[in-house]
Structure 1
């Protein structure tokens, strides 16, 4: 089990809320417990002690019997940070060719090597920018180490005894710090309303949880200018998109290299450079280096997806490892090399000296030319709503960007020119399940869960609509009726029921052949007296045949009984005569015969 610590480096004014703290017992009973407190924040001496670097689950070290199916090879856990539970993971990406898994949340990004089972990178979002942060966000005050646990304990106790006073002190102090940090402090503060101050306090709290749609709507309303307010600078920036691919990490690169593209909720794109071992034989021994390249790209809205096109406009898939059965018979050689596919469909030599990077956010899409990092095309997709899903797919031997908007519109854009191809109103998002499960696939198809047990499939391709009837699946597979088993003679003789014969089988064209054309054939209709008479005659005939068969069976059974009785009488007579002959010649000598 690997434990990862993700911590946001922005120092906010954190005061515990009364409703979020555990009930505070009597103060007299808590005073002796102060003596047992130590400097380590991991020591749980009382209810007020802050949890830090503690995992949520404990992994069993002993062997555990697992049911058949997928087996866990590595467990990665986020730990508690400064008394806060691990935040929800907002994005995750796995690459089998690199042997890496990357995931992020509102605190930062972590990269784990699942082949060597080591943590390569665990960094806050602000640290990923370095000196390339376009907003130049700084902490409100110099970062201080967490104080003695007893101080935190006392603050929690005071906040429980004096909740109203605590709120007023925190609000006033926070407004003063905002005035000192804001570039337009006085004029901006005069224009602020009480609701905006209250909103800034909520945004600065690290335990504030919002739904996905609320976060997106709030991120759209913020200004993306260089003079961003202190509220925007101090809010946590979540990782929303991750993508492994072979691309140019920097402007002066002459060849593609392994990269990790990171997208954030503020529309920022950060490129991380991956330094992998040159030979696959050294992959298990040499370490992998992950470092920020310094390249930062900007969009409007939270980043949703990435894609890479070669110089010819063909979609380049991410590298992957060809799957193999680890339990196969020919896998006995331990030195068997992995089969990696690094570039598809063309090799690195055929990709040319540049490529196109397609980035789509909740508001707009951009196409950048690499390695120059020049924005070639930009398209503002929506202004009044936001995108829920965006995927780069292939359609009719070309590549396009398919988007699903929150207002129910499905839009497609050509690549790399971002020319609108389709904009149609499909359905409004009335269920969060649709927003979370909607995805686009190749050849103009899309899927989503309409209910917990139903998958809805749709298409926006005319060619697929024309061939829709040929592609519909069958609920049942037609199977020919098997031939009846041959009945033995004795089973047919002593069986409980007679053998059923088909009239068509006995007298049909398959057995008797086709009738002469000169013979007339009467076919009774389905209705009328003739049909009723024909049906009644058929039933009477069946009953008559059943009675005749029953009589014949009884007659045969009677004959069999008579034969059995006669055979028994004959056997008794033969036994009697044999006994008499034995008694007659029993006492006679040989010379008396």
Structure 2
């Protein structure tokens, strides 16, 4: 085993337990009562949608999903979600018109009655079908009974008042013709006559349709050739339109159902698809409007999903859809079906979209939706969430995004405008950025509990794929990481194929060329530095750097290169379009960084990115190393493989050869031990070539490492600190095979953070730094020296990882570096304010004035020392390092451990510092899908609640689709097409509950149309036709009061279905019965006293009655004696 490996591995193992500890006590004002997990609102298109319902009076639309949820949408801000207790899908849904109630039928054969008059809708009653499976439901207008069709072909009736089955049942064998020897199949549709509620149409799966009279139990059967798939009533109740299997449309007279009165083929008499849904409406001018899905010809194979609109005075209009049609509903102005309904729009539920078609505008355009139903137009691959975004940035994005608005929409307003919208509970300007698989970015405003599109950006338009990698699946524009500076409006985007682009915001269109930086092949360097060390090579030849062969201005017509690729078989899947392009206002690409692939089958992927506008530097962490790029000069500063971060020479801004000498590492360079100044890595720039417009060029790069002229080692002495020894003469301890295994597997950079902090042990001076976290648990600090004039000089990097305790060793992959000042306030790195032309007007003054950290926590709300004895003047900052299996709070510059929290049982996968009621906390996502709230800096667990329904790991895509932000807010993709916002702050949760809008708004029911009841009554008296049953008669029929011969009565229905009270009824019952023993004794004593009082009253009453009786008896005796003595004659 070679010596370099042994020294490095043993030093890494020494870091695990040699950190000194600091005992301090902190008073924190945050406690567990301040934390709770509350889901606020859900955005996007309901995933796996199954059914659709509409209330024409309340103007609300409900969508049921396979996951057991119901989304009810109305006007802007009205978007509520109803969750069932289980995940069984919602197959059918029906509004009780203008009643504030909703009926859902789930796949577990449970039918629920919801009450959405409340701010939080809840289930009022439920019924479970035990022996039947629900196939369809139907609720006629103003009916008190719900019609339920089953898979066995039977029809049941459920009372809405009690949610119990009626004894009236329509059995399938009574409905079909005796000549039919096959089962008709499940009931697929039930439709009540709009004028006579006693007549209903029942459509079966096999194409059989019957007309059933509830009062007389008479059956009228429709012909079976062709089989009927769907039916729709005429508003007068005398005609029925059917959609058939062969794609034809038939019209039947209800008095003669044996043959159709009219039959047509809208798409020709060739082979056509069936018509599964058909709707027959009439306008105010009594013009027919027929809408149906399917029925398209099959000549050219499987036809696309289509919706056909037929009007009597026009030709057929076919609207082809991109996704399969699940259901559609005609939106009508009149809620009653017994008069012309006056349809004005069609709501079409597709598999991945919801659209509203305008019927009042020629051409039937789409009405633009205020709800974000196209969130998943391209699959979302990552999220970034800013809950406290500057308002001027929101305004700027709105201004540039207004020109991107899609054209061709209808000018009509959104017709589904029921309910009252939510108020903004937080009062923050919230910005959500979604990265998509097609390489696009979308900027959304999430303020006011509403998701509104602001701006769209295509990040792959300036890239071209190489022809040899055109068919590779790994070559993609999909977004992996998004980093944005809100103050400077700089945007850094990384793709999954190793492309990183820096965008700068411009208020007007400009013409520019993109600068290109080629990152060296760090995979080759990493492998060479670990395995292929050859002691026979000369040290001087290994440190001899190659100059960049050509210098190209960023304003040239060709794509500029910043590294020389000669002698290197570079595999870069993309190339940048180099010609000047006129770009619209908004985010414009300025710099592109390309990471080469090791081979055609494997890619060196980006694992972390960081951007700092004040430093003018971006950091790109990959699976094999780290690269720093100067955004002021658009040039590569330096690149390191992961092994080089521990002490090897950095890879220069040009590609190195694979031959590295044994002395090229500082681990064996005795001349590098005495002065840290000698370790500064300088970038010499050639300023002789400048363009006429004074814009910076891409300068030549050369790496120079200063060495002492004499080779004698100075300051050579053994060190007891856990830092890495850089002396070649120091003896190595025993080598740990565990560390060797980690090095052999390859170490990636998983976390990068710019900050103004201490990077060396016991050195109180703070300076710009970059903290690097690796997949093996190492946290490394590098000093950045920022020149005063960035147009002439570039950033200098000084590795400080070789001083005392500058490498912090953790268990598991590093997830986060966070910092607090000496007063326990969370600090964030400095940033530059936005300027229209910031590169030309960049401040060239002293960097110390503009790179200091920003204090995020209010000092009045920050924790404090328990006593003055705990306060130490030696502590300048606190470093918070979050790894998979532990969290440490380390005091700087002593690098002493202040607090420690272990998470070995359930590792962490994501963490972000935030605030709860202004107090600093750490919000973490565990591998079990739980959100944990941990106090800062004492690392106390405050709250833990489940957010995700499944377990995750660090590399799970859901980690990129989950974002934490300030004020304890977060957002995540709850499904491929839905995004949900949540909070961990109890105060925000209460504010959200108080500011919730209302679904139900009190509306007067429109007056029912008047029918010619007098003429119908006369015809029924003098004619032979029976009188039509009204709603009262129908209620008596279905309740079984008029027919005692039904099967078993109400008692027989209990074996078929059972009624289940809702949670509210159970709560009332539990509250009524949930009394203590003392309360029961007190009630018993009170009842006893009341009984005694009643008995005494009875005794008194009895005595009074006795006295009254005795008085009456004496009076009667005297009266008898008086009349006995009286003479009965007068003569």
Question: Any idea what SS the aligned residue of 1:234 has?
Answer: helix
SS for the counterpart of 1:286 is coil
Within the candidate set 347, 370, 373, 2:892 is matched to 370
Q: Does 1:425 align with 2:946?
A: yes
Please tell me whether residue 290 in structure 1 is matched to residue 797 in structure 2. Answer: yes
> For the residues of structure 2 that align with 1:394 and 1:440, how far apart are their CA atoms?
11
Verify: 1:445 aligned to 2:955, yes or no. Answer: no
Q: Is the 8 A contact 1:10 1:234 kept in 2?
A: no
Unmatched tracts of structure 2, length 5 or more: 1-515, 533-563, 650-657, 662-734, 858-872, 1012-1131
CA change 1:68–1:380 in 2 (3 A) is same
Normalising by structure 2, we get a TM-score of 0.29
8 Å CA contact 2:875–2:891 kept in 1: the answer is no
Match of 2:919 among 380, 391, 398: 398
Q: Tell which deviates more after alignment, 444-453 or 3-12.
A: 3-12
Alignment partner, residue 617 of structure 2: 100
- Of 441, 465, 468, 2:992 maps to 468
User: Do 2:929 and 2:951's aligned partners in 1 also have CA atoms closer than 8 Å?
Assistant: no
Shift of 1:466: 1.2
1:4 aligned to 476, 497, 519, which one?
519
After superposition, the Cα gap between the structure-2 partners of 1:472 and 1:442, relative to the gap in structure 1 and judged at 3 Å, is: farther
For the pair 1:60 / 2:584, whether they are aligned, the reply is no
Find the aligned partners of 1:83 and 1:445 in 2 and give their Cα distance: 41
From 636, 639, 647, the equivalent of 1:130 is 647
SS across alignment from 1:72: strand
Distance 1:334 1:267 in 2: 37
Aligned to 2:569, what secondary structure does the other structure show? Answer: coil
Whether the 8 Å contact between 2:878 and 2:891 is mirrored in structure 1 is yes
Say if 1:52 and 1:79, in contact at 8 Å, map to a contact too: no
* Structure-2 separation of matches of 1:400 and 1:362: 18
Structure with the larger RCO, 1 or 2 (CA within 8 Å, 6+ apart): 2
**Contact 1:364-1:382 within 8 A present in 2 as well:** yes
CA contact (8 A) 1:243 1:260 kept: yes
Q: Secondary structure at the match of 1:70?
A: strand
Q: 1:345 to 1:291 in 2, by over 3 A?
A: same
CA contact (8 A) 1:440 1:447 kept: yes
3-state secondary structure, aligned to 2:829: coil
The change in CA–CA distance for 1:42 and 1:356 in structure 2 (over 3 A counts) is closer
Kept in 2: contact 1:407–1:429 (CA 8 A): yes
Structure 1 partner of 2:1091: none
Verify the 8 A CA contact 1:401 1:414 in the aligned structure 2: yes
The offset of 1:451, in angstroms, is 3.0
CA separation in 2, counterparts of 1:369 and 1:386? Answer: 24
Unaligned runs of 5+ in 1: 15-40, 44-49, 133-142, 147-224, 479-524, 537-593
CA offset at residue 73 of structure 1? Answer: 0.4
Shift of 1:272: 0.6
Q: Verify the 8 A CA contact 1:240 1:264 in the aligned structure 2.
A: yes
How much has 1:65 moved relative to structure 2?
Answer: 3.9
Secondary structure at the counterpart of residue 932 of structure 2: strand
Could you tell me how far apart the structure 1 residues matched to 2:745 and 2:880 are? Answer: 27
- Give the 3 Å change call, closer, same or farther, for CA 413–430 of structure 1 in structure 2: closer
Alpha-carbon distance change, 390 to 473 in structure 1, aligned in 2, over 3 angstroms? farther
How many residue pairs get aligned? The number is 355
RMSD: 3.9
Query: Which residue in the other structure is 1:355 paired with?
Result: 877
Counterparts in 2 of 1:266 and 1:332: CA distance versus 1, 3 Å: closer
Structure 1 residue 353, shift from structure 2 partner: 5.2
Which residue in 2 is equivalent to 1:306? 817
Distance in 2 (CA, whole Å) between partners of 1:334 and 1:241 is: 28
Distance 1:416-1:54 versus aligned 2 partners, 3 A rule: same
Larger radius of gyration between Structure 1 and Structure 2: 1
Instruction: Flag the 1:468–1:274 CA change in 2: closer, same or farther, 3 A.
Output: same
Q: Distance in 2 between matches of 1:250 and 1:288?
A: 19
Q: CA distance change for structure 1 residues 271 and 284 in 2, over 3 Å: closer, same or farther?
A: same
Counterpart for residue 786 of structure 2: 276
User: Residues 342 and 354 of structure 1: is their aligned pair in 2 closer, same or farther, counting only changes over 3 Å?
Assistant: closer
Kept after mapping to 2: 8 A contact 1:97/1:342? no
Cα 1:414–1:145 change in 2 (3 A) is closer
Contact preservation (8 Å) 1:392, 1:402: yes
Q: What secondary structure sits across from 1:321 in the alignment?
A: coil
Post-superposition Cα deviations, 1:396-416, rounded to whole Å, max 9, x if no partner, equal: 121111111121221111111
In the superposition, relative to structure 1, how do residues 412 and 290 fare at CA in structure 2: closer, same or farther (>3 Å)?
same
Q: 1:405-554 counterparts in 2 under 5 A?
A: 405-429=926-950, 432-472=956-996
Q: Aligned partners of 2:959, 2:842: CA distance in 1, in Å?
A: 45
CA distance in 2, matches of 1:286, 1:131: 25
The Cα of 1:342 is off from its aligned counterpart by: 2.8
User: 2:571·2:600 contact (CA, 8 Å) conserved in 1?
Assistant: no
Superposed CA deviations along residues 395-451 of structure 1, whole A, max 9, x for unmatched, are: 112111111112122111111111111122333336854332112222222111123
For residues 257-290 of structure 1, the C-alpha deviation after alignment (integer angstroms, 9 at most, x for no partner) is: 000000000010010110112x3xx122122101
SS at match of 2:922: strand
* Secondary structure, counterpart of 1:460 in structure 2: strand
Q: Which residue of 2 aligns with 1:322?
A: 833
Q: CA separation in 2, counterparts of 1:402 and 1:346?
A: 16
Cα deviation for residue 465 of structure 1 reads 1.7
- Contact 2:623–2:748 (8 Å) recurs in 1: yes
Are the equivalent residues in 2 in contact too, given 1:389–1:439 (CA < 8 A)?
A: no
- Deviation sequence 1:321-361 (CA, Å, 0-9, x none): 1112339xxx99798989946322299xxx98511001101
Alpha-carbon distance in structure 1 between the residues aligned to 2:841 and 2:780: 41
Distance 1:474 1:70 in 2: 39
User: Which position in structure 2 is the counterpart of 1:117?
Assistant: 634
Q: 1:366 to 1:532 in 2, by over 3 A?
A: closer
How do residues 224-239 of structure 1 correspond to structure 2 at under 5 angstroms? 226-228=736-738, 230-239=740-749
Q: Distance in 2 between matches of 1:333 and 1:233?
A: 45
Map of 1:566 onto structure 2 = none
Counterpart position of 2:210: none
How far 1:83 moved relative to its partner?
7.5
Contact 2:615-2:851 at 8 Å conserved across structures: no
CA distance in 1, matches of 2:890, 2:522: 32
Alignment pair present for 1:78 and 2:595 = yes
SS at match of 2:643: helix
Structure 1 residue 56, shift from structure 2 partner? 2.8
